[in-house]
Each structure stands twice: as structure tokens, then as C-alpha cells.
A and B are shown apart, each in its own frame.
Chain A
Amino acid sequence: MTGRDGPGAKGGSPVAYVNARLLDPASGLDVTGGVIVADGVVADLGPHLARASALAAVGPRGIEAVDCGGAVLAPALIDMRVQLREPGEEHKETIASAGEAAAAGGVGTMVCLPNTRPPIDDPSLVESVFRRARDTCRVRVFPYAAVTRGLQGREMTELGLLAEAGAVGFSDGTAAIADPQLMRRALAYARIVGRPIIQHPEEPALASGAMNAGEIATRLGLSGIPVAAEVIMVERDLRLVELTGGRLHVAHVSTGAAVDALRRAKARGLPVSADTAPQYFALNETAVGEYRTFAKLSPPLRGEDDRKAVIDGLKDGTIDAIASDHAPHDQDSKRLPFAQAAAGMIGLETLLAVSLDLVHNGHLPLPQVLAKLTVNPAAILGLEGGRLAKGEPADLVVFDLERPWRIEERNFRSKSKNSPFDGRPVQGRVLRTLVAGATVFAGNDV
């Protein structure tokens, strides 16, 4: 695998990461200690490895030790919603460039949407994503496959064969599966492979506007997307889950109404999960300002009440996961009148830092935030990893929870630079990222 060799990796010499705050959100582990990484897996971990001087007693002879300086050592992030743009739009992002961005953001696994050109709607294309990732990308990549051929919303793809090829779930990308009969059948049919349908929850006919419906849209003369566009689709899909027993995952929840619907569904025990993206709990519609197209997203940034409701959904577990919804766009797609500009923002490199706002602002404890970035998406998609435990893959992130820095466009590794977080001061810096034991990112002073 490209760039995944050297110390700690398979075939390399073992490495000890000492003097770290070990955090495993899956088990609740939160201690000062160290980790020994060997052959790409976590060979040992615990408080007994806190100091390099202890290694002589417990570790292999002459082992290399990396002092983490008290920083957090946790499972690397699993970003369950990333748009890669390869194949077809490599000028915006490639699997390789997204991989660099991911590594710098502490993301060890990207799960990518099928909305490439061509779309990932055939087993051979699933295989090609795995192949390109293996050949060019430093972090792990797992694809979703399309629910419908060509993402056209009409004919179901070969869900079973796509799953056997390695698709971890099914999605029509940034388009909602609008036809209720088709959605019903997809939910039902996907049961044979036990994989979820990932819905972009927007009723398309109501979601034709350019930003959140409300005072700001009215002032700017932009057509609005009402909150109802989201909750109507969520509630419809929940009915279809009841009807079929299929597994539904609702992506990028942006409204309080959808959070409420999901909360009720979970209370009833329906097989449903949900994620949101940092932009939906860190920003609201005022970020649009005077036609800032970098703040044009899908779903749109909502009002302040919705932003707070999303945080409440994260707090009580209604929203299981946080994903970046990384959507690279070049300048030509964004330097347009607002209604014509492409929707979406890049997010791989800001996912962790902006999520940590939840911790610094006292909304959620750190382990709970990390769970939503690691073990929870792993569980939803049946991926290994996302845990810090003996024998687990050594996909790890070391980050300084307190360190302040400023998000700056010029520092993005992503090929595209479209982020409404440009200029935002944040707290929490990735120092090192490991995938399968190999260091795929080391910067920012460690």
C-alpha cells in the first residue's frame, strides 16, 4: 500500500507511543499510558506503557518510542460521508488528494459516496475504487454503491453483487431516493445483504431553493428550502422502515424536526441511525451573509433553533455519528450567482477540530464526541476498527485537545478550497495519524 510501510506497519519494526491520554470511546478507557504498534495492529496498550523508561521491562528490545507529550491518542476517525470526485472530476479532488487531507485531519477511513462520473453503480466500479485507493491513497477507503443505476432514481442496482464486491452501504449520493415505491423495495431488498440505505433526506420538490427558507432568504431574494423538506422525507422513510424492516441511515440531519422524528423512531426500536456534519452544529444560515457561496450547502444551513436542536440530538444519542460531508468544488463551481453555485463544502481537515467545539463549549464529553467519529460509524457500516484495543488495527490519531489554531484556506491539502470555516479559530490539533500502524501524517510539531 502506498505510503503505508515503515515502523509500526506490517513488516516494519514495532513502535511505542508513550505519554499519551489513551481514549477508547468503545470501552470507556481514558487513562494515561502508551500503545505498542506492531505489524499494523495494536500489540499492547495501557498505563504500564506511560513512560519510555518502562519499555525496557515490557516492550521488545530496542523499540522506537514516540513521546506524545500528554496528547490524546484515540482511534483514527472514520468519516462516513466523503465525496471523492474520482473518477471523473479529478481537477476537484482525487482519491490521493482526499487521502492527504484525511490523514491531516486525523481521518483513517473515508467512506465515499457513489456520485462520481461514472457513478459507482456496478461491481467493477466498486472494485476500481478499492484498487485506486490501494494504489494511491494513504488512508482506508470504502465505497457506498448507488441505489439506482446512474443515480437516476429509477432502476435498482445489483445491491447483492455490489455488497459482495465490498460496498458497505447504498446511497444515491447527494440526491434523495425520491420514489417511495423504489425506496420501499431498496430497504426491503438490502436486507439480504444486511447493509443500510443511506438517505439524503430532502423531498426534492420542496428542496429546489438556494438556502434555508426564512427572513435571510427573503431579504436576499433567494428561494427558500423549508425545514419541512427534510422532515417529510425522514418521516416517510421511517414509515417504509416499519413496512420493510430494512435498515435506514439518515445523513446530515440539519433540523430539529428531523431530530424529533428520529428520536421517536428510535424510542420505538426501529433500525435507524443518523449522522450530522460539523457545519450543522457549528454554523447557521447567517454564514451565508451576502451571498457567500462557500456557505451554500445541501441541506442548507438552518436557523439557530435548528442548530441547537442538532446539538441536543447529538447529546441524547439520537444522532449517532458525525461525518464531514466533504464536497470539493472548484472555483468555477462556486464563483457564480448564489442560486447557480454548487452546494457543498470540504470538511476532512476540519472535521475533528470543529467537532471538538462541542467539548470545549461544554455540550458533550470528549469520549462521546469521539464515539460519533469512530466506533459509531464503524458499527453502522460493519467496519472493523474505530476501537483502541489489543489486536485492533493500528488506525490511530494523536491530537492536542487544547491547542488553538486558525483554519486557513491556504493550508488545505484538499485540491478544492471551498470551506465556510476559513478564518475560524478552533481548538484541537492533529499531531499524527496512523493507518495500519504506518504514520500517514505527522506534522504540527510532533
Chain B
Amino acid sequence: MIASGAAPRTSVSSDALASFRHRHLLGIEALSPDEITLLLDLADAYAAASHSPQRARELLRGRTVINLFFENSTRTRTSFELAAKRLGADVINMQVESSSVKKGETLIDTAMTLNAMLPDVLVVRHSESGAVKLLSEKVNCAVINGGDGAHEHPTQALLDALAIRRRKGRLQGLLVAICGDILHSRVARSNIHLLNAMGARVRVVGPPTLIPTAIERLGVEVFHDMRQALAGCDIVMMLRLQTERMQGNYVPSVREYFHFYGLDRVKLSFAKPDALIMHPGPMNRGVEIDSEVADDVERSLIREQVEMGVAVRMACLDILTRDLRSNAPAAPR
């Protein structure tokens, strides 16, 4: 049913694709372990093909993907854009905060306007938790959450999981420490849901002011000491600390934060000898991570995370448009 050369489907059957029950990808929390595995397998296949010369695909030819970003982002937007283009889609980037919203247009108005342009997929990032879900209720196309407030960032968790799985061969049974500003982090929440679903053990570590209430109810162990938190860990996942949160509100100063929570060789030595370091980027070198460890090619997964981002987003675009393709004539070769 899918044009040959559409995607390398060695490990993902079309039956499996059909088992994905969701119209949108709004978060990891709603996904089953099977659905997560399906997305990772599909992304893995895209990743394997991404170095081949025929990496450009026809799968989404004639389809329109709109990247609707209400919050600044270069990396995530570029990654989605590249993913969509590699699948042959037409891509439009909209940076909304600088245009309509300032004129008083509401989120709903923007959604209705774009919906009338009949896009096939909307990728949405917004600074408010729940905003992407609200928007998804008002449009007819598939919506991918590109990050909403402190809620979820599902494609980031998927790319993190894929990067781990490719290096460690598994997720099951791994001990993962997520470090830093858990309170404001959608990356942390999506990763907690995903890693728990896949049988990893999750620790979170940070100053008490940056650990959200009742986070242990999400199935994590809470630490305030990096050395204890990192002891025996397979993965050390650092989070970005926004500069505006370092000026005496949540932590007293950058240097104090780095002293207690910045990842350097000494703290890393408490993790397993083969522990891997991750960071969703962009990094604040010298704030949450020391350059020496960030740039250690043996230990750092940071470059692979970026690479896997494109593959994961291709997989998400693929899976959310499967109904469009099965209902429509096959895309011309």
C-alpha cells in the first residue's frame, strides 16, 4: 500500500502502523509501551536510511506541514522542517508570537485560520501547558506537540530514547538520572513517562525549589544531591536551566548552581564507568554542564540526540499521516 522507497519498513509492518490509535501526538503519557516501541522502531529505520544517498522520500509529497511556533526555537523547528522535507512535504514555518498574537488574535483564532488552509499536519509549540491540546480540538488535521509549557515534549523524549537504545541496546532496566530544573521542564516529564513505560528506572535530582510537588507520584525517586543521584546510573540526562531562573528566585546564583548541580568529571565519576551524558540543548556551558564532559565523544550522546531528532520526527509525521495515505490514491512515484 505504500510506495516503494517510501520508508525502510524492514522492522515495522503496516499492521503495526495501523495499531497506533492516536490522531495527534500530544504527549507520551497517553502512549502505550507498544506504541512507543513502534515509533522507536520506525524512527530507527529512518535513522539507518538517513546516511544513504536516496534518503529523500516521496511519502508526504503534496502534503503540507505547518510549523506553528508561539515560542522561539531554532533547533526543534529546523529538525521538524528537515524531517518533513525529507519525506517530501511542503513546509511552512510560522513564528506567531511576533505577528498575530500581538494584534490580539487568540490561539483559537490562529488555529481556525490555519485550519482553513487545510494543512495535513500542524507542529505546534507554545509556552503554555495545555495550549497544544486546546488547539488540537479546533482543527481537522493531525497535531504534533512540539513542546507545551512545562507539560510535554514528546518528540524530545522519543529521540532521547532512540539515542539511548541505539547505544545501550535497550531501555529496560537502565537507571536514568534526570538532573536540574525539573519544575519547568516538559522534557523531564515526557522522559519520565517514556522511561517508566519502557521499564527503565528514573531518578530526578535538583534543588528542592526546582522539584515539582508530588513528582514521586509519577514514578521517580527524588534526590537533592548529585553524587547520590548519579551513583550507579547508566544515563545522566541534564536539563537546561533558563537564565531568568538563576537570579535569586529559584537558585541563588549561577556559580552556586554549578557548584552543586553542574555536571563535571567529579560528579560524573559517581555514575557507572560507561554512563552516557545527554542534554536536550541548547547547553549553558559552565552552568549545568562542563565543556569537558559535554564534548567527550566517548561519553556524550548529545550529537546523536540531534541526529535522532530528525529520524523520530520523520517517524511521527509518517505515522500520523497513515490514514491520509490509505484513503487517498498512492502518492505518485
Q: Which residues of A contact B (CB under 8 A)?
A: 213-215, 217-224, 226, 290-291, 332, 335-340
Contact = CB atoms under 8 A, between A and B. Distances in A.
Nearest to B148: A221
Listed from nearest, the 9 A-B pairs whose CB atoms lie closest are A221-B151, A337-B128, A221-B150, A291-B130, A221-B129, A337-B131, A215-B214, A215-B217, A218-B212
B108 A339 contact: no
A339 B128 CA distance: 7
Contacts of B129: 220-222, 291, 337-339
Which of A221, A224, A290, A339 gathers most chain B CB within 10 Å? A221
B213 interface: yes
Contacts of B107: 336-337
For this complex, into which size category does the number of interface residues on chain B fall? 20 to 34
Given A214-B213, A336-B106, A337-B134, A219 B218 contact: yes
A290 B218 contact: no
B63 interface: no
B189 A337 contact: no
A223 B134 CA distance: 18
B308 to A, nearest CB: 24
B149 interface: yes
A220 B151 contact: yes
B22 to A, nearest CB: 14
Interface of B is mostly: mixed
B133 A290 contact: yes
B57 to A, nearest CB: 34
A220 B186 CA distance: 10
A223 B218 CA distance: 16
A404 to B, nearest CB: 31
Nearest to A226: B213
Contact of B186 (A214, A221, A332): A221
B29 interface: yes
A215 B219 CA distance: 11
Contacts of A332: 106
A208 to B, nearest CB: 12
A321 B217 CA distance: 35
A220 B150 CA distance: 8
A102 to B, nearest CB: 31
A219 B106 contact: no
B279 to A, nearest CB: 20
14 contacts: A214-B213, A217-B213, A219-B29, A220-B151, A221-B129, A221-B151, A221-B152, A222-B151, A224-B212, A226-B213, A336-B107, A337-B130, A339-B129, A339-B149
Contacts of B214: 213-215, 218
A340 B128 CA distance: 8
Nearest to B130: A291
A218 B130 contact: no
Contacts of A221: 129-130, 148-152, 186, 189
Contacts of A217: 212-213
B254 interface: no
Which of A219, A224, A332 gathers most chain B CB within 10 Å? A219
A338 B218 contact: no
B113 to A, nearest CB: 15
B215 interface: yes
Contacts of A340: 128
A223 B213 CA distance: 10
A220 B27 CA distance: 10
Contacts of B131: 337
Interface string B211-226: 0111101100000000
A44 B218 CA distance: 63
B240 interface: no
Contacts of B217: 215, 218
Given A215-B217, A221-B189, 11 more contacts: A213-B214, A218-B218, A220-B129, A221-B150, A221-B152, A290-B130, A291-B134, A335-B134, A337-B130, A337-B134, A339-B130
Contacts of B186: 221
Contact of B213 (A213, A291, A338, A339): A213
Interface in B79-123: 106-108
A53 B65 CA distance: 78
A96 to B, nearest CB: 29
A214 to B, nearest CB: 5
B203 interface: no
A97 to B, nearest CB: 25
A303 to B, nearest CB: 10
Nearest to A216: B214
A332 B150 CA distance: 23
Contacts of A335: 106, 108, 134
Contacts of B24: none
A338 B130 contact: yes
B107 to A, nearest CB: 7
A59 to B, nearest CB: 59
A262 to B, nearest CB: 25
B209 to A, nearest CB: 13
B201 interface: no
A214 B215 CA distance: 8
A215 B128 CA distance: 18
Contacts of A220: 129-130, 151
A215 B212 CA distance: 9
A381 B129 CA distance: 41
A218 B189 CA distance: 9
A223 B151 CA distance: 10
Given A219-B29, A219-B189, A221-B150, A337 B213 contact: no
Contacts of B152: 221
Contacts of B29: 219
A240 to B, nearest CB: 29
B67 to A, nearest CB: 19
B126 interface: yes
A235 to B, nearest CB: 21
B293 to A, nearest CB: 29
Contacts of A219: 29, 189, 218
A220 B152 CA distance: 8
B62 to A, nearest CB: 33
Interface string B139-164: 00000000011111000000000000
Given A218-B217, A219-B189, A338 B128 contact: yes
A433 B217 CA distance: 48
A398 to B, nearest CB: 41
Contacts of A215: 213-214, 217-218
